[in-house]
Amino acid sequence: MPKKILIIKSSSMGDIVHALPVAYDIKKHFPDCELSWVVEESLTDIPKLSPYVDKLVVTAFRRWRKHIFSASVRGEIIAVRRALAEAKYDIVIDLQGLIRTAVVARWAGVESVGYSKENIKEPLAARFYSRTLPVSNKLVPVVRYRTMAAQALGYTLQDEDLHYGLDVKPMTPTGVRTPYAALTVNTSRAEKLWPKSRWTEVARELAEDGVMSVLFWGNDKERAYCEEIASSVPGQVVVLPRLSLRAIAEVIAGARCLLGVDTGLTHLGAALGIPSVGIIVGTSAELFSLVSESACATVGDKGVIPQPEEVLAAMHSVLAQAADS
């Protein structure tokens, strides 16, 4: 029975959220184990939301590769390598499947398990693992990650329900009245954005029902996009100040519902059990629909842009389901 387990799922936000049920699964089958998680420095708040993750190993590859010849960066890398080697894990499971994460798995100096070369994003990474498993990359991410961990550790998921179990206390922001809806309108990829005019229509309909909308942003471009939506519905849409991921999770946890594009914050809302509607525009609905323990729905698909009426109808449906549960 493994006593020290290391999971590698360091980015992106949505992928980490989808992997968090793995922490619950592992602790259910090995309640006395110490579970550590490798995560990029900008995303540490996400695995911290799970009470089943005991320790974090923080990497900074996005920053390191910009200054790879810096003495301070080399020092940070050496420190992470040393910490991994000294931890003496029983097993490392790489749920990411990239060359950089496979290298991190190798740094631990113990048995490492990753995807087989036929089922991995960067096939060369498969050469770094002690053992590979043919877990299909066609599976929905949540299912894929849970299956990978179960096969690596030798337990079965048969008839076991999904459980995130995130520990977040709701917070209503200053200047926002309840009830409010969390709208996650921004994404790093332009092809996943829903038209601004449709967000405006949704915000107006929410306002007519007495529901304010709150918007989040992470950079100046995203803030400007939010402010344009807010200006179209004066007094009913609040563009929040820039918040930590932990604080955003707390605001989402206090929302009546969440509506959002295919981005990490939307999947976080579903993971928190908030009645959520995912709006798919530029990705596969088959792979990236919302997955939740509570009521949720996904509308649209790659190249199929949903109308505001569809989003609002889905919202009313999930709210009704949540009220009945």
pTM here is: 0.97
Mean pLDDT of 217-244: 98
Mean pLDDT of 289-293: 97
User: Percent of the chain beyond pLDDT 70?
Assistant: 100
Q: Residue 270 gets which letter from DSSP?
A: H
Q: What is the pLDDT of residues 248-283, one digit of tens each?
A: 999 999 999 999 999 999 999 999 999 999 999 999
Nearest to 100 by CA among 144, 63, 142: 63
Instruction: Give residue 207's pLDDT.
Output: 98
Instruction: Give residue 159's pLDDT.
Output: 74
Mean pLDDT of the chain: 97
- Give the HSE-up count for residue 303: Cα atoms under 13 Å, Cβ half-sphere: 0
Among 63-72, 155-164, 186-195, which is the least confidently predicted range?
155-164
User: Are 147 and 162 within 8 A, CB to CB?
Assistant: no
Q: How many C-beta atoms lie closer than 10 Å to residue 116's C-beta? A: 17
Residue 237 has pLDDT above 80, yes or no: yes
Question: Quick one: pLDDT band at residue 1, thresholds 50, 70, 90?
Answer: confident
Taking CA atoms, 248 is separated from 142, 173, 285, in Å, by 22, 10, 25
Q: What is the pLDDT of residues 90-104, one digit of tens each?
A: 999 999 999 999 999
Residue 20 has pLDDT above 80, yes or no: yes
Mean pLDDT of 30-34: 97
User: Are 29 and 146 within 8 A, CB to CB?
Assistant: no
Mean pLDDT of 296-308: 97
Instruction: Give residue 160's pLDDT.
Output: 77
Question: Quick one: pLDDT band at residue 211, thresholds 50, 70, 90?
Answer: very high
- Domains along the chain with CATH numbers: 4-153 (3.40.50.2000), 180-324 (3.40.50.2000)
Token pair of 228 as six digits: 């344009």
